[in-house]
Amino acid sequence: MALPLLLSKIDSYDLEYRDKRGNPKPVRFSSYIWKRVDGFIIDSLKEIRRTETIETAMDLESMPAL
């Protein structure tokens, strides 16, 4: 799942990136890729947590009342 993401980021990497004033602002490729990898990891962890929270709530609902 991460490989297609990385391949799309490789395609969109801009060697001639410039800031709003038009000044060259090179970004190291490793920094560029790591930002997306880091975001992917955080998004995945959030999804896992959300899924576990829903499953826990469903388990609690199915318990018999005391």
Domain ranges of the chain: 2-62
Query: What digits encode the pLDDT tens for the residues 11-53?
Result: 888 778 888 899 988 888 888 888 888 888 899 899 998 888 8
Cα 4 versus chain centre, distance? 13
DSSP E strands in the chain: the ranges are none
Report the alpha-carbon distance of residue 64 to residue 18 in Å, rounded: 62
Cα 23 versus chain centre, distance? 29
Rounded mean pLDDT, 1-14: 77
Report the alpha-carbon distance of residue 20 to residue 25 in Å, rounded: 10
Per-residue CA distances from 8 to 2, 3, 22, 51, 61 (Å): 10, 9, 25, 27, 42
